[in-house]
Amino acid sequence: MPKTVTQSKAMKKPIKHVPFLLLLSFLPSILKISTAIDIINTTQILRDGDTLVSSGGRFELGFFSPGNSNNRYVGIWYQKIPNSTAVWVANREIPVRSSSGILKVMEPGILVVLNDTNNIIWSSNTSRVARTPVLQLLDTGNLVLREANDDRPDNFLWQSFDYLSDTSLPDMSIGWNFVTGVESYLSSWKTNDDPARGDFTFWLDPTGYPQQVIKRGTTTLYRIGPWNGLAFSGQTNSAQDMNFRYVFFMKKDKAYHRLEAIDNSIISRIILTQAGTVQRWTWVDRIHDWIPYVNFPADNCDTYKLCGAYGSCNIANTPACGCLNKFVPKDPEGWIRSDWSNGCSRRTPLNCLKGDVFLKYSGIKLPDSRNSMYNQSMTLGECKVECLKNCSCMAYAQLDIKEGSGCLFWYEDLIDMRDLSSQGQDIYIRMASSEFGSCTETHNKDYELPMFRASTILKATNNFSVNKKLGQGGYGPVYKGTLEDGQDVAVKRLSKTSMQGLDEFKNEVICIAKLQHRNLVKLLGCCIEGEEKMLIYEYMPNKSLDLILFDQTRSALLDWPKRRQIVNGVARGLLYIHQDSRMRIIHRDLKASNILLDTDMNPKISDFGIARSFGGNETEDKTSKVVGTYSYMAPEYAVHGRFSQKSDVFSFGVLVLEIVIGKRNSGFCHGDQHLNLLGHAWTLYKEERSLELVDAYLCETTNLFEVLRLIHVGLLCVQQCPDDRPSMASVVAMLGNDAALPQANQPGFFAGRDVSIAPYCDFVPFAIVESISKPYTYLEKLEANVD
């Protein structure tokens, strides 16, 4: 970070005001006291060289010179952080040209900055009158004018939090007060030497439903979508933040958002840079430096309306822009030239009079909401009815996904969308009724699956009671049910309007119906009745591996024999689908949450919704739609879309290391080397220190030779080059004997991120969200077998 506060030798001198008679009486002792103060009144002035320090000592106010400039400005900075950046500047447009500046409070309550000729160059322009006005620097960094005997925040005469510079602090609001007309927004500095307003602004756009935008002049460059109850749509990293939370408030008189501190000991700030990016930085005492936590835009897909109407951007794809499913490019030739500005159109035109339907698209950054309308009380079903009434209503989405209420409606073409997988949102888009496909009972004929009546499943799940719900996926919810004979089952219920879930439904039936193995979850049957489409599985009482393995308390249930049993079982299940089943299948989403555990902790591989099958001599394929979970994904698949049996082997290797170590690969970062889990394991392996990876309680009860061998096998599976990785047949053999193992080479995604770029290691070495599990897949070959 550039140095923007130059502190003069006199800058640290706190101003003091002592009554004259008291000064005469206690002059000898007063001279020995130097106590910083945080407040002044109309009888005191702040000269260049004097400072105010907030009561907790976090912030300081005084005159400073930015960068290499000799101009003087009144600003606020962190008092205890060396070379700290100014977080607020008063006279940012008009500097004081010498060190003779003065800050003072004038009656009846106006804050002013005077230059060396005693002329006012900046004023707070306070409109309210105060009898005894005082100026106070709060420990939040807020500079406030108030009545001396009234410190209520809602009664301040004026506050710096309403008039921002390029920095937002926790509890500082960005938005609008519609009563006073005050708008609080960030504006960049011109240069490191000049804090005057630069080219860029970051503000809350209140037209339609409020959203965050970055502008250059009047041109929108980037947009973070509307508030969804948890975060702004398209805002990443916020859900996992344990130290801060985002808050959004909207009433008739005001609309604003802000960052609130959960842990006040953490120092963090958001800045709008001179290049037009919004960055959030956190101070780390251990390294005495600021570390970036969030950067927006994160990548080119954040460029405003890059892919045109009904286009969606996915940074993992080449090209990044693509049309939504069931849409086609308006200008195919332009699309080939990477000119996506004309966007996409429906492949089947709408015909409102003949009846339209709404199809659900999941994992989406919601489109530009400036011409939207909203209702805060409707249910999602009522949203559909309301939108269906109006032929101009192009789409709707749930307004508040946290509370499950409200509607957001769009009445124009949908622009500025991107694929965000699990961090995205569902949107329901108006389509011609002919685009809504349906399953038929040919599934049953082709794959000899038992058919269940809907009434049977309703009774088994107590009418899909909330208490019976086990989880939720892109296809829809999963419930526990009990059949009349007492057998417990798991019911995967397809969402009625989910075309993405329909793809998964078909794929699951195709893959699992033909597979029978003790280490694969068993599909008992399906239900296709009216709009209901359900898959019925055997019930796994211990649920998924991740819920036990990564839980500090429950992980003790997995002693070494059980962990070894789980590894062996998963290996045999993978070998079966790769080599021994009637269909050669690549799972593509092997991970701890897709390993289910029965009563005896036997593992069952589940969720074949995005699996791919191969025939003949096929061994690999390539896709532009990368699906799965990045922290388990092989590098050749994540980066280039190439997948094979060896990409499943890579995922298995990650899983093995997680099982031995008891920690997730996702989000893992080791020490100063900033290594992810794979890099840390390989480094210790090279230094013959692999036992340091194992939990202490496991070391006491396990066969150390087996542990070391399993770590070695895991590292062989995650090698960078696919050809170096063993087949699952070789892996099963390695696990079953004590023969010597080959040396492991460097794993894929070995290096963690550079600490100057991010505060923690990411599995993926480019700017992309850590996990991307698309709820649909393009399975042309498999679909052909069904349809």
Give me the active site residues, please.
589
DSSP per residue over 256-307, as a string? EEEEEESSTTS-EEEEE-TTS-EEEEEEETTTTEEEEEEEES-SGGGBTTTT
User: Could you tell me the CA-to-CA distances from 752 to 279, 292, 674, 676 in Å, in that order?
Assistant: 20, 15, 5, 6
Instruction: Give 27-61 as a 3 state SS string.
Output: HHHHCCCCCCCCEEECCCEEEECEEEECCCCCEEE
Tokens of 54: 């907030």
Tokens of 670: 């080791």
Q: Which residue has the tokens 């604003």?
A: 256
Long-range contact pairs involving 7-11 (C-beta distance under 8 Å, separation at least 24):
7/64, 8/48, 8/49, 8/65, 8/99, 10/48, 10/49, 10/50, 11/49, 11/51, 11/62, 11/63, 11/64
Instruction: Round to whole Å and give the CA distance between 162 and 727.
Output: 62
Instruction: Round to whole Å and give the CA distance between 423 and 315.
Output: 14
Instruction: Round to whole Å and give the CA distance between 141 and 75.
Output: 11
Tokens of 249: 């408030």
Instruction: Round to whole Å and give the CA distance between 329 and 344.
Output: 4
Give the burial class of 349: count Cβ atoms within 10 A of its Cβ; 0-12 exposed, 13-18 middle, 19 or more buried.
exposed
Residues 6+ apart with CB under 8 A from 551: none
Instruction: Round to whole Å and give the CA distance between 180 and 125.
Output: 13
Strands across the sheet containing 532-538: 469-473, 476-482, 488-493, 532-538, 523-529
Give the amino acid at 17: H
Residues 6+ apart with CB under 8 A from 566: 545, 558, 595, 597, 601, 602, 603, 659
Query: What is the three-class DSSP state of 508?
Result: helix
Q: Which of 491, 564, 589 has the alpha carbon at shortest distance from 533?
A: 491
Bridge partners of residue 489, in order along the sequence: 481, 538
Q: Which residue has the tokens 């010597």?
A: 740
Main-chain dihedrals φ then ψ at residue 731, nearest 5 degrees: -60, -45
Long-range contact pairs involving 81-86 (C-beta distance under 8 Å, separation at least 24):
81/267, 81/283, 82/288, 83/3, 83/5, 84/5, 85/1, 85/4, 85/5, 85/167, 85/269, 85/271, 86/4, 86/5, 86/165, 86/167, 86/195
Q: Which of 285, 287, 329 has the alpha carbon at shortest distance from 308?
A: 329
> Dihedral sign, CA of 587, 589, 590, 596?
negative
| Residue 319: cis peptide before it, omega within 30 degrees of 0 | yes
> Dihedral sign, CA of 774, 780, 784, 785?
negative
